[in-house]
Amino acid sequence: MRDILLDYDRLAASGRPVGRAVVTSVWGSAPRREGSSMVATADGEMAGSVSGGCVEAATVLEIGNAIARGSPKLVSFGVSDARACEVGLACGGTITLLVEPAIRPQVLAAARGAGSEVVATVVDGAGAGAGVLVREDGRVEGSLDASLPVAAVRDAALAALARETSHTTTIETPAGPASVFLEVFPRQARLVIFGGVHIAAALVPLARALGYHTIVADGRPAFLTRERFPDAEELVLGWPEAAFARIGLDASCFVCVLSHDPKFDQPALELALRSPARYIGAIGSRKTQAARRERLQAAGFTADQIARVHGPIGLDLGGRQPAETALAILAEMTAVRYGGGAVRAGA
């Protein structure tokens, strides 16, 4: 939803009702993941996507119908549905959408906020239509049907938040199973690069395209200029201790140590390992990594702590050009972020 907020605001400013469709579950090769959203007016002006194009027109009509009747509805498109041929879903998958006549205040607030919260909406079963907001610290705001165990909804929401993945789950109630859609709004991920080298210059625009807030730090002024990093959101001049203190490493951070200079790399890695950073990667060959691990061990870090460092950094994609290395790094970060499989680079 965050990616179409500006479009929503533009449509809402016209004074027309704006409804939404959000993907609540997918099966097979459906092209868009859970949480993908489309907004539209009753007269058919739309923004966003729920299928990559193959059911967009039908979804706009469903949103118009929801606005007209004033109530939400679950709608499915799939290869086993006779209607699939009409709307062009020939890609071998099935998607289920929650189509709403308006975007609920909970969803808008979460989409506009800093993140680390989940909107849990009952889409089928006891109390269908009700929703609560679950915050990162476990607080639950709003109310559900009395038969729904709030603790179970909260625990499922927090698990989804940890994976940063929206999905629909089944909650057992005395009245029977209820389907609850967990729409995740994670804190924006931050890419923290120490070392303003050529690979960093290639990595920043790729990371921004995937929604990372990009920060480049270095202790050398000549390496840290706007000419070298026109796309970075922050440039932080300083040695690792001062730079990381200013940045504030937390669980939203993906740290890439790229300076390839032990006087910078070693303190940067030690500081990163003492933080809750989500990902820590360091450039260098296997020989360099082995020496680095020995120094970390001598500094008092355990084997489990040292194992947090991804090095050699990046997946083994075979390329060695700066842009190719940047792609390999971002691929590994993505695998860590979403729990995908990864093959470590070999050099």
In the prediction, which pLDDT does 346 show? 44
> What is residue 54's three-state secondary structure?
coil
Asked whether residue 105 is assigned to any structural domain, the reply reads no
Residue 108 belongs to some domain of the structure: no
Q: What is the pLDDT of residue 91?
A: 53
From 58, 74, 100, give the residue that closes a domain. 100
Give the span between the Cα atoms of 193 and 205, in whole angstroms: 13
Query: What span, in angstroms and rounded, lies between the C-alpha atoms of 282 and 259?
Result: 9
Q: How many CB atoms lie within 10 A of CB 276?
A: 10
- Is residue 254 assigned to a domain? yes
Residues 261 and 320 sit within 8 Å (Cβ to Cβ) = no
Contact 14, 47 (CB under 8 A): no
194 with 334, same domain: the answer is yes
Domain boundary among 185, 214, 232: 185
pTM of the complete model: 0.75
Please state, in angstroms and rounded to a whole number, the distance separating the CA atoms of residues 57 and 146: 38
**Within 13 A of 311's CA, how many CA atoms are on the CB side?**
25
**202 and 258 share one domain:** yes
**What is the distance of C-alpha 306 from the center of its chain?**
26
Count how many domains the chain has: 3
Residue linked to tokens 């093959």: 343
| Helix ranges (DSSP H) in the chain | 5-13, 56-69, 83-87, 105-112, 150-163, 198-209, 240-247, 262-273, 286-298, 303-306, 322-338
pLDDT in 10s for each residue of the chain, 347 residues: 998 999 999 999 999 999 999 999 988 766 778 999 999 999 999 999 998 666 889 999 999 999 999 999 999 987 554 555 555 555 557 899 999 999 999 999 999 988 899 999 999 998 899 999 999 999 999 999 999 999 999 999 999 998 889 999 999 999 899 999 999 999 889 999 999 999 999 999 999 999 899 999 999 999 999 999 999 999 999 999 999 999 999 999 999 999 989 999 999 999 999 999 999 999 999 999 999 999 999 999 999 999 999 999 999 999 989 999 999 999 999 999 888 765 455 43
Residue 346 lies in a domain: no
Give the structural domain span for 265.
Answer: 190-338
**Residues 174 and 86 reside in one and the same domain:** no
User: For the CA atoms of 226, 231, 236, 238, what is the dihedral angle to 10 degrees?
Assistant: -60
327: domain CATH number is 3.40.50.720
Residue type, 95: I
Shared domain check, 305 and 196: yes
> Phi first, then psi: what are they for 153, rounded to 5°?
-65, -45
Q: Which of 281, 262, 286, 270 is nearest to 328 (CA)?
A: 281
Structural domain contains residue 310: yes
User: Which pLDDT does position 266 carry in this prediction?
Assistant: 96
Give the position of tokens 């907020």.
5
Q: What per-residue confidence (pLDDT) applies to 53?
A: 65
CB burial string 68-94: b at 16+ within 10 A, e below: eeeebebbebbbeeeebeebebebebb
pLDDT at 347: 38
With contact defined as beta carbons under 8 Å apart, do 39 and 20 qualify? yes
Pair (88, 170) in one structural domain: no
Q: Are residues 301 and 215 in the same domain?
A: yes
Q: What is the pLDDT of residue 115?
A: 82
- Quick check: is 109 in a domain? no
Do residues 194 and 313 share a domain?
A: yes
